[in-house]
Each structure stands twice: as structure tokens, then as C-alpha cells.
Chain A
Amino acid sequence: MTQAADTVVRRQIVVEAPIDRAFAVFTERFGDFKPPEHNLLAAAIAETVFEPKVGGHIYDRGVDGSECRWARVLVYEPPNRVVFSWDISPQWQVESEPDNTSEVEVRFTAETPHRTRVELEHRHIDRHGPGWQAVRDGVAHDQGWPLYLDRYAALFDNGH
């Protein structure tokens, strides 16, 4: 059975920063690096708020004042670990049934006093159920994700 691996996304990255700052940037400035096409609101996002406590939410606030709470903070252990739910269905709507949501764990490990390893695991993706049709619509069209992400990546090309 290889299914388990198919329902998990693991990524890790090393940043040149102390663990405290690595954790703080991830939680306090989540909206600064979240891909901009990730928006369930009708309006543009004015800010993304990561409430730093268990039971808090990650939510987007639109320029028109509307809000979208798309994650629940499940574990908040600065500066080592944070876990939050992923309450977004494949149909790009907020999923209100917790059983149908996946979760994201982010672990921070100090490699040196000035370098931190950040390991991210997005797991239980299969809990979202079928959504292939919506996924196809969202990512496969020329004007969808591919083009948008290319433009996004280009913003970071200068100076790095």
C-alpha cells in the first residue's frame, strides 16, 4: 500500500535566521509570502492574520472588510512547532466539516544559533474527498495557476 505517501506533502527549507525569528516570520508575516492567488474572497486581500494561539484562526481580510477564515490553529508552540487545519475544499470553498479537512504541521529546528531548518508536512489530504473536476479547472487552464505562479515567481527574481 503506497497510498499514505500520496496523501502527504512534505517540504523543508533552511533559512539563515535564528529559530525565534524563523518562527516569528512564519506566523506574523504569513500573508507576505502566501501565494496571492490563494484568495477565497471576492475582494483583494488587505491582510492575512495568523492568530497566535490554539483555537485561533488564519484568516484573510479583504479590502472591502470581508473575512475568510480558512484555517484553525491546532498547536502553537513557539519557537518549535505550529499545526493548523486546512479548511479549504477542492471546490475552493471554506470547508465547515472538520472531518473533511487536512492539516499542516510546521517544525522549526535550530541547526546553528543563526540557521534554522523548517520542515513542513501537509497531511491527510485524502480527507478532502473528490475534487478533481475543480482542481482541473483551477490549475490546468492557461490563464490559471501556471501563468499566475510564473508571474509570482518573477517578483522574487531580482536581488536574490
Chain B
Amino acid sequence: MPTYQPADGWELLADPTRRAIVERLAQQPSAVGELARAFPISRPAVSQHLKILKEAGLITDRAAGNRRVYRLNPAGVAALRDQLETFWNRALEGYQDVVNDSTEENQ
């Protein structure tokens, strides 16, 4: 089985504000100012949350003109991807068995 890490990331997301920030970034990449307007917390507080989330690898940032735009780190979806990969491995193995069985029945 794949391993899911970092454990620290889970603990960070237990904070409702950080979770809300991540959910918003999943919908649309945003700059600090946009996030500060969207949430009832100060801009420095938003920056602090973003710093922690970035250090945990949950979000990334890049410069866009004079702004710094934050977005969800695609590696975050890797956990879901791993889960679906496991699902389809099992499903296709089962499918192959069913095809073989039904082919034998028809011969």
C-alpha cells in the first residue's frame, strides 16, 4: 500500500481556517489580499496560515506580476489518486476473473 504523508499535514488541516483556505484554493488560486477579504481574519493572519500550509507542502505559490498567487499543491491529490489506483487495480483483476469465468461457461 502507498503511504500517506506527511502526518503533519493532517494536523494542520484540523484548523478550520486553514481548511477553509485550502478549500478555497482548490476552487481558485488566490492572492493573499483576496483571501483576507474572503475570510474574517487579518491579512497577516492569512499570511501566517499560508506560510504554514506551504511549509507542509499542501499549497504552492508563484509570482504573478506584483502579486503572489497561492494554489493547491497537486501532490495533495496524489493521495486520492493512489486510492483510485488501488480501486481500479482490484476492479480490473476482478473483471478479468469474471470474463474468464463467463467465457468458460459459454464454451
Measuring CB to CB, which residues of chain A are less than 8 angstroms from any residue of chain B? 3, 6-9, 11, 13, 15-17, 21-22, 25-26, 29, 32-35, 38, 86, 90, 118, 120, 122, 125-126, 128-133, 135-136, 138-140, 145-146, 149, 152-153, 156, 160
Question: Contact mask B23-65 → A, CB, 8 Å, 1/0?
Answer: 1001100000000000000000000000000000010000000
Interface of B is mostly: helix
- Count CB-based A-B contacts (< 8 Å): 132
Complex contact A21–B80 (CB within 8 A): no
User: Are B95's CB and A146's CB within 8 A?
Assistant: no
Chain B interface size, under 10 / 10 to 19 / 20 to 34 / 35 or more: 35 or more
B→A interface (CB under 8 Å): 1, 3-4, 9-10, 13-14, 19, 22-23, 26-27, 58, 72, 74-100, 102-103, 106
Q: Which residues of A contact B87 (CB under 8 A)?
A: 35, 38
Q: In the assembly, what is the distance between CA of A139 and CA of B96, in Å?
A: 24
